[in-house]
């Protein structure tokens, strides 16, 4: 029983995110200003004013979503209502901060580096991703095998919800997967506007460099179990957390299974998306029939939760 805090990943960004939090809450102003001092770009300007072309660059998007998500989590106050946490890809760092496993400043440094490394990996070996709708895991595995060659690979990257799987890899291999998807049973397949082949073997150089940073980043036992993308299982073990944060760059995000494990294993009854957008609420709705879910992504929603004292 209890509430799971869910933290969004890349693609939840939008121009204006966090602006109302900054205007209405002292803590938000302090945290945004702190982050701005540590980043090589104007975080507040890009979050509040854009342009969207800059905000969607991986090196900017990841710290931006992380900062807004962590601020929102802090504004919700004591985490006695949080029974577990999880984050989608980048969101795993937000989940770990909310659970006390990482401190904000150390995590921000790791996230900023992660974004740079992933963007650079995409520049060195161009890759892309595509959403495949209406296929199960076995069918998508077959699709990827069909579209891959010795030199060009495509693999499942995000198991988001029943019938919604994202694939990732070399540009031409992903394009072939999109072409073959409908004949092999998909309802739809479309390329995504991303700067690299995230959660695929193409991110191996980024994972190697990120591992060096994480080896010197303090990680403490979290106050609640954190469900990890790579395993879809909860842990409070700092060594496992560190290892899986590295693995995460080259392995698929097992989000559908994470939600099912939360519901079946820990009997979590409410799912609160903490941070910008409502992507994860949609995935809860499609995965867990009848589950209660809500969002805390703007000042109005945060204030409503604080006023009601209901989470």
**Residue 152: strand, helix, or coil:** coil
- Report the relative pairing of strands 270-274 and 292-296 from DSSP bridges: parallel
Cα torsion 210, 248, 93, 214 to 10°: value is -30
Give the active site residues: 89, 199
Cα 300 to Cα 210: distance, rounded to the nearest angstrom: 36
Residues 6+ apart with CB under 8 A from 209: 113, 117
Cα 230 to Cα 243: distance, rounded to the nearest angstrom: 10
DSSP 98: H
Place of tokens 């945060």: 302
Cα 90 to Cα 111: distance, rounded to the nearest angstrom: 8
Place of tokens 């019938």: 163
Cα 60 to Cα 182: distance, rounded to the nearest angstrom: 34
Element (H, E) at 24: helix 19-24
Q: Which residues pair with 158 in a beta bridge?
A: 166, 253
- Joined together, the tokens standing for residue 64 give 């931006």
Cα 25 to Cα 85: distance, rounded to the nearest angstrom: 24
CB atoms within 10 A of CB 282: 15
- Residue 31 phi, psi (nearest 5): -70, -40
CA dist list (Å): 234 to 103, 110, 184, 265, 282: 20, 22, 35, 10, 22
């Amino acid at each position: 029983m209890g509430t799971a805090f869910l933290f969004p990943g890349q693609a939840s960004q939008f121009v204006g995110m966090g602006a109302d939090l900054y205007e209405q809450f002292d803590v938000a102003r302090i945290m945004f200003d702190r982050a701005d001092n540590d980043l090589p770009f104007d975080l507040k300007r890009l979050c509040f004013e854009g342009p969207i072309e800059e905000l969607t660059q991986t090196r900017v998007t990841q710290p931006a979503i992380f900062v807004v998500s962590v601020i929102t989590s802090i504004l919700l106050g004591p985490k006695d209502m949080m029974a577990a946490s999880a984050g989608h890809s980048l969101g795993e760092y937000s989940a770990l901060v909310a659970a006390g496993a990482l401190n904000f400043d150390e995590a921000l440094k790791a996230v900023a580096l992660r974004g740079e490394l992933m963007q650079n990996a995409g520049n060195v070996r161009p890759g892309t991703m595509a959403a495949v709708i209406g296929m199960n895991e076995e069918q998508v595995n077959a699709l990827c095998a069909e579209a891959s060659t010795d030199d060009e690979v495509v693999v499942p990257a995000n198991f988001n919800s029943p019938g919604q799987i994202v694939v990732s890899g070399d540009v031409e291999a992903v394009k072939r997967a999109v072409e073959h998807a409908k004949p092999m049973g998909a309802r739809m397949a479309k390329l995504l506007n991303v700067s690299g082949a995230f959660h695929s073997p193409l991110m191996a150089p980024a994972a190697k460099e990120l591992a060096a940073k994480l080896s010197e980043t303090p990680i403490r036992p979290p106050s609640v179990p954190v469900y990890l993308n790579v395993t879809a299982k909860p842990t409070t073990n700092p060594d496992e957390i560190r290892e899986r944060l590295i693995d995460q760059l080259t392995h698929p995000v097992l989000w559908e299974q994470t939600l099912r494990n939360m519901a079946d294993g820990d009997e979590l009854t409410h799912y609160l998306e903490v941070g910008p957008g409502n992507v994860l609420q949609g995935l809860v709705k499609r995965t867990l029939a009848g589950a209660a879910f809500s969002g805390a992504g703007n000042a109005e929603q945060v204030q409503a939760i604080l006023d009601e004292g209901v989470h």
